[in-house]
Chain A
Amino acid sequence: MSMKIQADRLAPWAAYLLVGVGALIMLAPFYFMFVFATHSRTEIFSLPPPLFFGDDFLTNLTILTERIPFWRNLGWSLYVALASTALTLLFCSLGGYAFALFEFRFKKLLFGLVMATLLLPSFMNMIPTFMIMDVLGWIDQPRALYIPGAASAFGIFLMRQFVAASIPRDLIEAARMDGCGEIGIYTRIVLPLLKPALGTLGLITFIASWNNFIGPLIVMRSPEMYTLPLALRSLQSPVNTEWGALMAGSAIATLPLIILFILSSRQLISGLTTGAVK
């Protein structure tokens, strides 16, 4: 009996240790990404490799901007992510509101169809999407990235859930009785109440667009139009990869995400797992 009590008392400490060491292992790659960003290629590939920050960050940045149009690529990433977020928020809040609080023909069928595509593997649309963009003349156009992105099934799901859970039907009816128009109801009542969900969906959309690799890989052909992930990958070559510059670029691409995540980790985590948990 006393053995068991002792084991039960030790268990939390073992748990702390395991969970803590695990968390450090999870964070270590991020640490080394930032450390390597401040070292030259020869320093990164030496024994022992650098374990602390160096002073070559600006040199790496110079190499980076000489090899690729880095600031342009960064600008496109930001532009596409912002445009994609704005469109997704607008279209999905409108659609989610309609799905949650209106009755109309084929509603169940349409919603079922949208939800079915949630589980559809992303590689299915890869080839036809390229062909559509080619026909539309959207190759090398940022809109080829943010316009299709706005048709987010996940966004519709999230918005519908949130509207259904937090906006009472009676409120909408009362506004209608008072003579408020349908668009007025959406802009004055629905949108303000949707703020928390809009924040979550906005963060998720921005991050997904910022990280998107397959989309630009398929539609962006000229290096001036590359978004950041594509530009970084173009620096990789079998020989002579500028590892320091590549790490500096990766660190710059990762830093905004880490900041966003630290500021809103709870909201982000619950938003990203919302489909799973409900």
Chain B
Amino acid sequence: MMIPTARRISPTWAPYLFISPFLILFAVFGVFPLAFSLYLAFQTWEPTSGLAAMQYVGVDNFAFALRDEWFWKSLKNTAWLAVASGLPQHLVAIPLAYFIHSSFTRLRNGVVGAYFMPYITSTVAIAILFSSLFSTDYGLINIGLQAMCQVPVLGWFMPQDPTDWLGQPENIKPAIAIIVFWRYVGFNVVLYLAALQTIPKDIYEAATMDGASRMQQFWHITLPSLKPMIFFGVTLSVIGGLQLFEEPFILTGGRGGSDQAGMTTAIYLYRMAFDFNDFGAASAMSWLLFIVVAILTWLTNRAFRPRGPSA
């Protein structure tokens, strides 16, 4: 078992040895691409002409992106989708987690699992399935909505005619938002459940003694205690929503849908590079989108973070 000391790795060098496989890959495939993409954003280049054909063009690519109608349209689509798919996730996940936390014991893991399952399944398989569910004449979603029209009261809120989800520009975004909501709401439920477990039980007991109803307890104890997690969860949703690519890509056949209504910025910059062969402009757009993500993350941070140094 004893190896001669000379051939042994000393504890001083061991960490470098242990960390180098990861660090080399991280440098080549994590950090370098980032630096290269910044460099590329100031160049003009077409993949067919070889690396040597690259040419410095200053801020032309950024100027082009900022004047490009489709780029702005894609940003608006992305923002719309991030809000319309993100906000409902939290509005539903918070009370849902509260119900599960307060009323479920034995069935709890199964229920949480059911909500979480969409998160681990393939986006492609899901988007393919939903494109059939969203079909105008034979899709189960429209058939379900039509059936609900027959129900009194509820029917008033339901569309009378079958909705053309994927053909009409104004319906594509809601269809995408529904899929994204379905996929990520369970993830948020788990986040909020974890946060709920940290609230001491005796606070609720004291509140019950003082005659506070469950509703009052929810508003005055639960919600305030969840604030840090709401901040964190909303930040994750914003970052995730602004990167939206796969669901709209599959749903619109990779082209953004009619009138580009389903074209997110991530899809547009993919198309800019791989369909229109303009890698410089695509890189510039990726950095512009990155700036938007950074600013919005910072803003949510400011809006939700509790005042004072304790956060």
Question: Which of A's residues lie within 8 Å of B, judged by CB?
Answer: 4, 7-8, 11-12, 15-16, 18-20, 22-23, 26-27, 29-30, 32-33, 36, 44-49, 90-92, 94-95, 97-99, 102-104, 107, 110, 113-114, 117, 119-132, 134-135, 147-148, 150-151, 153, 156, 176, 179, 181-184, 186, 207, 210-211, 213-214, 218, 228-230, 232-233, 236-238, 243, 246-247, 250-251, 253-254, 257-258, 260-262, 265-266, 268-269, 272-273, 276-277
Contacts and interface: CB of A to CB of B under 8 A. Distances in A.
A246 B30 contact: no
Most buried by A among B3, B111, B114: B114
21 contacts: A26-B118, A26-B182, A26-B185, A94-B22, A95-B22, A102-B11, A121-B289, A127-B40, A127-B286, A129-B33, A130-B273, A131-B51, A131-B279, A182-B9, A211-B120, A211-B123, A228-B122, A269-B116, A272-B119, A273-B190, A276-B236
Interface in B253-287: 253-254, 266, 269-270, 273-274, 279, 282-283, 286-287
Nearest to B232: A276
Given A26-B115, A181-B3, A125 B103 contact: no
A8 B124 CA distance: 43
Contacts of B243: 121-123
A127 B99 contact: no
Contacts of B125: 33, 229, 232, 250-251, 253-254
Most buried by A among B1, B99, B109, B111: B99
Contacts, number: 284
B250 A233 contact: yes
B32 interface: yes
Contacts of B232: 276
Interface string B1-27: 111000011111011111101110110
Given A4-B213, A26-B115, A121 B34 contact: no
Given A94-B22, A95-B22, 9 more contacts: A29-B118, A29-B182, A49-B143, A126-B273, A132-B29, A150-B22, A153-B30, A229-B125, A258-B121
B87 interface: no
B187 interface: yes
Interface residues of B, number: 100
B130 interface: yes
Interface in B94-136: 96, 99-100, 102-104, 109, 111-126, 128-133, 135
A46 B245 CA distance: 31
B18 A246 contact: no
Contact of B8 (A15, A103, A182): A182
Given A47-B138, A151-B29, A18 B121 contact: no
A273 B191 contact: yes
B2 A19 contact: no
Interface string B54-87: 0000000000000000000000000000000000
Given A211-B121, A229-B124, A277-B191, A129 B290 contact: no
A101 to B, nearest CB: 9
A19 B104 contact: yes
